[in-house]
């Protein structure tokens, strides 16, 4: 379950940034190609934040869709999963979006 390690690093970053203030909510963007299960992440979040300034905080997860570029036909197409195959049949594709995992905002105070 790699969600635990990922969630731990997110919470570490958040707590450091909060600098002793209580964290009320965190908004995360997890690209749909990150292979992270949001439900598992919510579960890990509760465990990881226990005893930290983020304990009891709400975690909002956004899942932006993936986007890829095909070198074969030179077009961009949406990517729903990790099957890197262009509708034209070419597998010579580059992932542009969907692998990002970033903290968009957090509410402290």
Smallest gap from residue 88 Cβ to Zn ion (A): 3
Binding test (CB under 5 A) with Zn ion, winner from 88, 91, 96, 103: 88
Smallest gap from residue 33 Cβ to Zn ion (A): 18
Residue 61 CA: distances (Å) to CA of 58, 74, 83, 90, 94? 10, 32, 23, 32, 25
CB atoms within 10 A of CB 12: 13
Q: Is 94 exposed, middle or buried (0-12, 13-18, 19+ CB in 10 A)?
A: exposed
Task: Decide if residue 72 touches Zn ion (CB under 5 A).
Answer: yes
Task: Decide if residue 90 touches Zn ion (CB under 5 A).
Answer: yes
Task: Decide if residue 70 touches Zn ion (CB under 5 A).
Answer: yes
Task: Decide if residue 86 touches Zn ion (CB under 5 A).
Answer: yes
Q: How many residues does the chain have?
A: 109
CB nearer to Zn ion: pick between 1 and 88: 88
Smallest gap from residue 47 Cβ to Zn ion (A): 43
CA distance 29 to 60: 8
Q: Which residues bind Zn ion (CB under 5 A)?
A: 70, 72-73, 86, 88, 90
């Amino acid at each position: 379950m790699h969600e635990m390690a990922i969630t731990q690093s997110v919470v570490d970053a958040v707590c450091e940034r909060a600098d002793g203030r209580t964290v009320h909510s965190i908004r995360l963007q997890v690209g749909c190609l990150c292979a992270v299960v949001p439900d598992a992440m919510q579960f890990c979040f509760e465990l990881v934040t226990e005893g930290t300034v983020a304990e009891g905080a709400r975690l909002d997860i956004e899942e932006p869709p993936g986007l890829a570029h095909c070198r074969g036909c030179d077009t961009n197409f949406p990517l729903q999963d990790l099957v890197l195959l262009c509708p034209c049949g070419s597998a010579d594709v580059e992932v542009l979006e969907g692998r990002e995992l970033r903290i968009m905002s957090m509410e402290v105070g």
